[in-house]
Amino acid sequence: MRVRHLTKIFKTGGLLFGKKFRAVDDVSFNLGGDSSSIFTIVGESGCGKTTLARMILGLIEPTSGSIEILGRDVARLSSKERSHWLPKVIQPVFQNPFEAFNPLRKVYSYLLHTATSVAGIEDKAEAVERVNRALEEVRLSPEVAMRSPYELSGGQVQRLSIARAIIPNPKLIIADEPVSMIDASLRMGILNIFKQLKDEMDINFIYITHDLSTAYYISDLIAVMYKGSFAEIGQAEAIFKEPLHPYTQLLIESIPRVDRRWTGKIKVSVTEVEEYLLPGCKFADRCPYVMEICKKKAPPLITTSGGVRVSCWLYNEEKGVAKH
């Protein structure tokens, strides 16, 4: 997948005095290749994560920029391709697992419907086999799926919604805050399923979270999003070891030291709803290292010698090290 300069501007208020709001601002990245990866997009509430996910899923139109999947430009897909081809390639997993299912229907019949109508399996026995295999992947028995969603726990329903998502054998799953409504003790179990599906079924994941502490263990790549843009993007290991952007440093420092892997929450204030049209770095009002240039000119996203891309005037392209 190639995402280039993806931007979404929402217009709010009246026609005459309405305001423009840049929810996603010039986001670019590549995903996939020789092996599958888990790409985590982390950022505080309101920074544009869901808007980015919804554009990639084809649910909302970008204002500008492009999304290319398996060599095809999503904007140029016909409505038939959008409803038939795209769901075979990309599947979502949502925050509230109960939204994935009809509360009045047994989960199993819903999964079978996914196998026939989304995955396009016409043979009934084959569809049953595909559903059972998906249930096995998420470590649930078909008996659990025979119940209605309201008879099950949030953790079980989220596993079922992951089973639903893998039935069409997608290349990519976009999971938007998939464990934030799940009991803390069950979170890693669910995230581990992503890791296992990446290895066993060769599925790429975009894991969206406001909680960096859940990302360490499962991520191959990380992008730190701030006010609609990527502040830093690169290999997870490099970013956790040596975060470059002052905002990434703040996020990592707020994970309790005792276990930087997955406990605790990021303690940062919620992004205020405002226009991001001021010149300069979006983080300047919160940055402890702010310099004169930061208020005047937006820092470009540069690639450092370590391969991490960062948008901050403290770094330069040649050396990828602090200028001062």
Ligand X SMILES: Nc1ncnc2c1ncn2[C@@H]1O[C@H](COP(=O)(O)OP(=O)(O)O)[C@@H](O)[C@H]1O
Stretch binding ligand X (CB under 6 A), from 47-55, 116-124, 160-168, 300-308: 47-55
Specify the residue, 12 or 185, whose C-beta has the smaller distance to ligand X: 12
114 binds Mg ion (CB under 5 A): no
Q: How far is the CB of 92 from Mg ion (least distance, A)?
A: 12
78 binds ligand X (CB under 6 A): no
Q: How far is the CB of 322 from ligand SF4 (least distance, A)?
A: 10
Q: How far is the CB of 281 from ligand SF4 (least distance, A)?
A: 3
> Which residue among 48, 87, 228, 299 contacts ligand SF4 (CB under 6 A)?
299
291 binds ligand SF4 (CB under 6 A): yes
26 binds ligand X (CB under 6 A): no
Q: What does the alpha-carbon distance between residue 116 and residue 167 come to, in Å, rounded to a whole number? A: 10
> Which residue among 181, 290, 301, 302 contacts ligand SF4 (CB under 6 A)?
290
Q: How far is the CB of 53 from ligand X (least distance, A)?
A: 8
Q: What does the alpha-carbon distance between residue 279 and residue 274 come to, in Å, rounded to a whole number? A: 14
Stretch binding ligand SF4 (CB under 6 A), from 1-9, 31-39, 118-126, 286-294: 286-294
Residue that is written with structure tokens 């060599």 in the block: 71
Q: What does the alpha-carbon distance between residue 112 and residue 135 come to, in Å, rounded to a whole number? A: 12
> Which residue among 12, 78, 185, 269 contacts ligand X (CB under 6 A)?
12
Specify the residue, 49 or 309, whose C-beta has the smaller distance to Mg ion: 49
How far CA 112 is from CA of 18, 84, 168, 180, 249, in Å, comes to 46, 17, 11, 27, 46
301 binds ligand SF4 (CB under 6 A): no
Q: What does the alpha-carbon distance between residue 324 and residue 318 come to, in Å, rounded to a whole number? A: 14
48 binds ligand X (CB under 6 A): yes
Specify the residue, 247 or 313, whose C-beta has the smaller distance to ligand X: 247
Phi, psi of 214 (to 5 degrees): -85, -10
> Which residue among 21, 108, 205, 283 contacts ligand SF4 (CB under 6 A)?
283
Q: How far is the CB of 77 from Mg ion (least distance, A)?
A: 24
How far CA 232 is from CA of 70, 155, 223, 236, 318, in Å, comes to 25, 31, 6, 11, 17
> Which residue among 273, 277, 321, 322 contacts ligand X (CB under 6 A)?
273
Specify the residue, 270 or 277, whose C-beta has the smaller distance to Mg ion: 270
Q: Give, as ranges, the residues between 54 and 113 that touch ligand SF4 (CB under 6 A).
A: none
269 binds ligand X (CB under 6 A): no
Which residues of this protein are in contact with Mg ion, per CB under 5 A?
49-50
Which residues of this protein are in contact with ligand SF4, per CB under 6 A?
245-246, 281, 283-284, 287, 289-291, 294, 299, 312-314
Which residues of this protein are in contact with ligand X, per CB under 6 A?
10, 12, 21, 23, 43, 45-51, 273
